[in-house]
Amino acid sequence: MSTEDPGRAIIVSSGRCGSTLLSDLIVAEPQTLSVQEFFMATPAWAKAGADISGATYWSAVSSPKPELTTLFAIGRPPKEVRYPAHGRWSDRLDQLPQMLAITLPKLTDDPDGLFDELADQVPDFPEQSFAGHHRMLLDLITRLTGKQRWVERSGGSSQIAPYLLRSFPDARIVYLTRNWADTARSMSRHPSFQLIQLRLEFVSRCGIDPFQMTPDQQVPAELEHLLPGRITADLLRERGADSSRYLGLCAFMAAQAEQALADNPPTHLLTMTYEDLVADPVSELTRLGEFLEFADPPGWALAVAGQVSRGGVAQQTVAV
């Protein structure tokens, strides 16, 4: 197995704009590890600060994600969750390590086994920044799976674009966008984005993140029924009835991504739009394959372009 550093790339997007489609198509490139929903599963507190040990890092990334725990509790987990029904945590999904919800099941038929292998090695990582641990972990998984490069994609990663661009200056960056009206409508129907919009509304109205509240913090009485532990599936669905509130979310995410790109211009940047991808999938995918340094970009593009349709995406990749 090669000991050279693997290639690294990150797809930045607001989510609901075709990023899952790209990830699923990249799976077909034999030397590329298509990593899904890793960076956005990271605890927010850990994105800055002093160096931490491998054990502390592993404790953070192997813990449950509070937002996903809330969605499991009300019976509305996102359809992207791929943890197998026979898995070790299948009877206690509220304790499911965040990497096992989507990331590892997308890489292997035995996500629990890969998780155990990482649990044996990651705590021994040297003390370093959180970004350094991220890099080592993704590089390790790339080598364990016999790949030459990794491409990470998380829906809504525009929110953490400043962090990603500062932390991974050597990574190839793909910036994917879609028109706001269609993106907002798609967000309004997706439980994870309903929760993201709700969190931003809390922060905007009272300066409090409901998932990081301290015991001494209080929210206005009219918002208490929307707190984690109180919100219901019906209440969350109701928040999706008005797609206009998600236009604000699109604007917020676009502003964060574009400011981050201006503040920390990537050495390697490719911009794509969902509309161009649907209109001319072979050309757009060939361009993507060349940027990501695939062995045969035109061949890969021709092989997978049929999964893109003018009406959106093929049935097997409807989660965009």
Three-class secondary structure assignment of 65-89: CHHHHHHHHCCCCCCCCCCCCCCCC
Instruction: Out of 112, 128, 144, pick the residue that ends a domain.
Output: 128
3-state helix, strand, coil in the chain (%, to 5): 55, 10, 35
Distance, in Å, from the CA atom of 92 to the CA atom of 72, rounded to the nearest integer, reads: 10
Of 239, 271, 303, which marks where a domain is finished?
239
Which residue range(s) make up the domain with 226? Answer: 190-239
In a domain, 121, yes or no: yes
pTM of the model: 0.92
Question: What sign does the CA torsion over 237, 238, 240, 246 have?
Answer: negative
Tell which residue, 88, 89, 33, has the closest CA to residue 65: 89
Is 208 a domain residue?
A: yes
Question: Cα(52)–Cα(187) distance, rounded to whole angstroms?
Answer: 35
In total, the chain counts a number of residues equal to 320
Amino acid at site 244: S
pLDDT tens digits, 15-35: 999 999 999 999 999 999 999
Q: Is residue 160 part of a domain?
A: no
- The answer to whether residue 85 sits within a structural domain is yes
Number of domains in the chain: 2
Work out the mean pLDDT of the chain and round it to a whole number: 92
pLDDT digits (tens, 9 = 90+) for 305-315: 999 975 444 43
Domain end: 170, 205, 239, which one? 239
- For the chain, helix (H) and strand (E) counts, in that order, are 14, 7
Contact 191/236 with Cβ under 8 angstroms? yes
Among 161, 168, 179, 165, CA closest to 18: 179
10 within domain boundaries: no
Q: Provide the token pair at 268.
A: 């390697």
Angle at 183 between CA 178 and CA 186, to 5 degrees: 140
Phi-psi group of 39: left, alpha or beta (phi > 0 → left; psi -120 to 50 → alpha; rest → beta):
alpha
For residue 305, being part of any structural domain is answered with no
Residue 70, domain member (yes or no): yes
Residues of the chain with pLDDT under 70: 1-3, 43-48, 310-320
Residue 3 lies in a domain: no
pLDDT digits (tens, 9 = 90+) for 101-147: 999 999 999 999 999 999 999 999 999 999 999 999 999 999 999 99
